[in-house]
């Protein structure tokens, strides 16, 4: 059994002395084909090398050595990826269907309907890819999903094209998320006045401190107060019907808020926003259309008193009788109106008694 020929056979088979004791088995790691191809570099061989048998080790031992090295590298890569994600400095690609929007909506746009730049963004992503990653956090309530802090338009554009979304993943608190959301919007495509007002109101209603909301929107205390006043004075139904109206600033929104304090004007506004002319218009024109209708010189018919002409038996005009909400007013328009009015005043008691007798039959 220990003959020289047996030793030579073992040496030829393994090509080197075997270790005295077996090494611990490396943990099993699941690696995708693309990761495996990226992590293992196999040098090209010449035809002679492909034909000539190895003089050192057999194929089985070489494969085992490569596998152990690969797994070690993959474990180290996974550790580095985990650390990078915790710091938020690693860009990853996520399926858009796994990302939910922020828990506080900050835009009123209906994609290209109210945001003509959205189609340009879709075209840019199609031609050049996504240049700037979005920011997400692991979803606080749904394992395996994410929640966007900013980059909602880029996320929707990538989803429309069926592309993965490049994202930074950070473990953000609610306060950190809204601060990042507000700051990003201020530095990139600014929100319109009314979008910022609604965003501020939504954050306050969720219990955030005013100081946090002011920091998120870069507002002074007085500005914050005006934002909340307008958001409270205009029903959200009307705001959403109008949309972002990016060309409409604070003064005109405050004007609309003042107009809508009148209950009759508010009812008329609710009718106007259901008209097809209003719905078919662009967002800035919707605002203009509504405000013009509400501030027109001629008031709604409901505000006009009923009028009745007063005449003599010969058809000569005496004046007008105006009736409105249980009140009556005589407007005598003759040259002797003053004297006739005094006469009526003197006869009023007897005339009223005659009226009651006739009324009661």
Nearest to 92 by CA among 38, 130, 41: 130
Give the model's pLDDT for residue 291.
94
DSSP one-letter string for 5-57: HHHHHHHHHHSSPPPSSPPPPPPP----HHHHHHH-------HHHHHSPPSS-
- Rounded to 5 degrees, φ, ψ at 320 are -130, 150
Q: Look at the block and give the residue holding tokens 């013009």.
A: 292
List per-block mean pLDDT (blocks of 10 residues) for the chain, which spans 361 residues: 50 45 37 36 40 44 52 54 57 90 72 65 86 90 90 87 92 88 65 85 86 84 88 90 89 91 91 90 92 74 68 79 76 76 82 79 63
Beta-strand ranges (E) seen in the chain are 91-94, 99-100, 134-138, 146-150, 165-169, 306-311, 317-324, 327-332
Q: What is the DSSP string of 189-212?
A: SPPPHHHHHHHHHHHHHTT--HHH
Judgement on whether residues 242 and 207 belong to the same structural domain of the protein: yes
CATH number at residue 254: 1.10.10
| Bridge partner residues of 146 (DSSP) | 99, 138
Distance in angstroms (rounded) separating the CA atoms of residues 79 and 75: 6
Predicted local distance difference test score (pLDDT) of residue 5: 54
Domain assignment present for residue 12? The answer is no
For residues 218 and 235, what is the distance between their CA atoms, to the nearest angstrom?
25
DSSP helix/strand/coil, 300:
coil
Two structure tokens written together for 78: 């996974």
Helix (H, G, I), strand (E, B) or coil at 173: coil
196 & 292 share domain: yes
Domain interval for residue 254: 191-296
Residue 166 lies in a domain: yes
Residue 180 lies in a domain: no
Domain boundary among 111, 141, 173: 173
Does 201 share its domain with 290?
yes
Domain end residue (candidates: 241, 267, 296) = 296
The whole-number pLDDT of residue 287 equals 94
**Shared domain check, 198 and 167:** no
| pLDDT of 353 | 82
What pLDDT is attached to residue 272? 93
Q: How much is the pLDDT for 312?
A: 79
Q: Within a domain: residue 37?
A: no
CATH number, domain of 128, equals 3.90.1530.10
Alpha-carbon gap, residue 212 to 178, rounded angstroms:
9
Q: Quick one: how many helices (H) and strands (E) in the chain?
A: 16, 8
User: Domain check: are 221 and 270 in the same one?
Assistant: yes
Give the model's pLDDT for residue 234: 92
Single out the residue of 310, 312, 311 nearest to residue 321, CA to CA.
310
Query: Same structural domain for residues 148 and 197?
Result: no
């Amino acid at each position: 059994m220990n003959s020289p020929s047996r030793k030579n056979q073992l040496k030829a088979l393994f090509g080197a002395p075997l270790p005295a004791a077996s090494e611990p088995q490396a943990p099993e790691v699941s690696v995708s084909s693309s990761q495996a191809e990226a992590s293992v570099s196999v040098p090209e061989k010449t035809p002679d090398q492909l034909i000539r048998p190895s003089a050192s080790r057999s194929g089985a031992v070489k494969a085992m050595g490569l596998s152990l090295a690969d797994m070690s590298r993959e474990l180290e890569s996974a550790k580095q990826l985990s650390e990078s994600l915790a710091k938020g400095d690693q860009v990853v690609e996520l399926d858009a269907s796994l990302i939910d929007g922020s828990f506080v909506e900050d835009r009123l746009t209906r994609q290209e309907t109210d945001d003509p730049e959205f189609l340009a963004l879709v075209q840019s992503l199609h031609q050049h890819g996504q240049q700037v990653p979005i920011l997400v956090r692991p979803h606080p309530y749904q394992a395996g999903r994410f929640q966007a802090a900013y980059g909602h338009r880029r996320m929707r554009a990538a989803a429309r094209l069926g592309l993965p979304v490049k994202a930074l993943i950070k473990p953000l608190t609610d306060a950190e998320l809204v601060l990042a959301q507000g700051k990003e919007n201020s530095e990139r495509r600014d929100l319109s006045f009314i979008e910022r007002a609604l965003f501020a109101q939504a954050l306050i209603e969720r219990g955030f401190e005013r100081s946090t909301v002011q920091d998120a929107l870069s507002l002074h205390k007085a500005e914050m107060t005006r934002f909340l006043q307008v958001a409270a004075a205009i029903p959200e139904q009307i705001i959403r019907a109008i949309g972002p109206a990016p060309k409409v600033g604070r003064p005109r929104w405050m004007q609309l808020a003042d107009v809508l304090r009148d209950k009759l004007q508010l009812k008329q506004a609710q009718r106007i926003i259901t008209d097809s002319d209003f719905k078919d218009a662009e967002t800035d024109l919707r605002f203009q259309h509504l405000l013009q209708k509400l501030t027109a010189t001629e008031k709604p018919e409901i505000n006009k008193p009923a009028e009745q002409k007063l005449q003599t038996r010969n058809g000569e005009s005496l004046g007008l009788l105006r009736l409105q909400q249980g009140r009556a007013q005589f407007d005598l328009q003759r040259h002797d109106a003053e004297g006739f009015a005094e006469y009526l005043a003197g006869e009023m008691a007897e005339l009223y008694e005659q009226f009651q007798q006739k009324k009661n039959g």
